Structure 1
Amino acid sequence: MNKFSTTTLTMTRNFDVASERVFDAWLNPEMMRKWFFTLEGTNKVAQSNPHVGGAWEIIDQRYGTEYRAIGEYLEIDPLKKLVFTFKMPQFSDLEDTITVELKERQAACEMTFSQHIVVPHEKNWTKDDIENAIKESHEGSEDGWNLMFMGLKELVETGKVSYTG
């Protein structure tokens, strides 16, 4: 097994709905297929077995290529906290851990998202190579989540996502 580094991405978002609606969007396959690593128009599979030890899976197809994301639920505290693993097996056997925490705010909620990202090293990498890989993983994850969270906000606040891919 190659060596690896880790980095943590933390993001906060506010939604003009109760935390129940946001929490449901992370676990309900019909909602997941509209924003979570996929879009309704490109989604092939959206499955969720939302209990501790249960699995989730998303398969998205874009430009003729299937992208599969899978994970296991580690902690589920309804309407407050969700912890799960995230892995894309076609790219790596390494797993990230994602934590979603929700706090009620007057007629709204605040979501704090954290992703513990595992960054694999390649053989003969220098310290600079490792630092660049960590930076690229962090920035790439942040860019991806920013786009997904725009879809999540639209979905929970309006019931649909206008971008279809």
Structure 2
Amino acid sequence: MSEYSTTALKMTRSFDVPPEKVFDAWLNQEMMKKWFFTLERTNKVAQNNPQVGGTWEIVDHRDGKDYRAIGEYIEMNRPKKIVFTFQMPQFSELTDTLIVELKDTQQGCEMTFTQNIVVPHEENWTQADIEQALKEYHDGSEHGWNLMFMGLKELVETGKISYQG
């Protein structure tokens, strides 16, 4: 399938902790399995090699199925920026790029998150079909990240996540 479009999702979140703490929550396996595409009670695999060229993998078990997310680190500048790929091979061979940028604030830090989303086209799609798919992928991704970022905020600020799905 060679036809696809892209859309960008950009979100900003504030944390009452230094950027180093949020940066580490993206890369520490023990922290990742509590919020990153998984919850601690449903996580089956959390593997990470947090360096440029290194890979990560999360396997979450929900509703009797395993969901696998994988990627590779492209850029890392602690505690300011992480750029990495994201793919769920069971759904698509296409790869998104995720960018996490952190900056100091008086209260702690601000995270700007960008997901460059690749949306595959179906045969015979019209421009309206493409626009609808872009909106659905964008909005679906935004919903998922909103939930994950609530967990991330609670984890870095309190050390645990109370909501467990």
Instruction: Please indicate the TM-score interval, normalised by the length of the shorter structure.
Output: over 0.9
Q: Does 1:108 align with 2:108?
A: yes
Q: Secondary structure at the match of 2:72?
A: strand
Contact 1:16 1:109 in 2 (8 A): yes
Any runs of at least 4 consecutive aligned residues in structure 1 with deviations exceeding 3 A, and if so which? none
* RMSD, matched Cα: 0.6
- Please give the per-residue CA displacement for 1:120-140, whole angstroms capped at 9, x wherever unaligned: 000111111101000000000
Alignment of 1:4-153 (within 5 A): 4-153=4-153
Which residue of structure 2 aligns with residue 3 of structure 1? 3
* Runs of 5+ unmatched residues, structure 2: none
Contact 1:2 1:122 in 2 (8 A): no
Count residues in correspondence: 165
Q: Percent identity?
A: 72
Contact 2:15 2:107 in 1 (8 A): no
The structural deviation recorded for 1:57 is 0.3
The structural deviation recorded for 1:2 is 3.2
For structure 1, which segment, 122-131 or 80-89, has the greater mean C-alpha deviation from structure 2 after superposition? 122-131
1: CA distance between counterparts of 2:164 and 2:105?
Answer: 30
2: CA distance between counterparts of 1:7 and 1:130?
Answer: 11
* Runs of 5+ unmatched residues, structure 1: none
TM-score by length of 2: 0.99
Contact 2:70 2:87 in 1 (8 A): yes
TM-score by length of 1: 0.99
Q: Secondary structure at the match of 1:106?
A: coil
Contact 2:6 2:116 in 1 (8 A): yes
Amino acid at match of 1:144: G
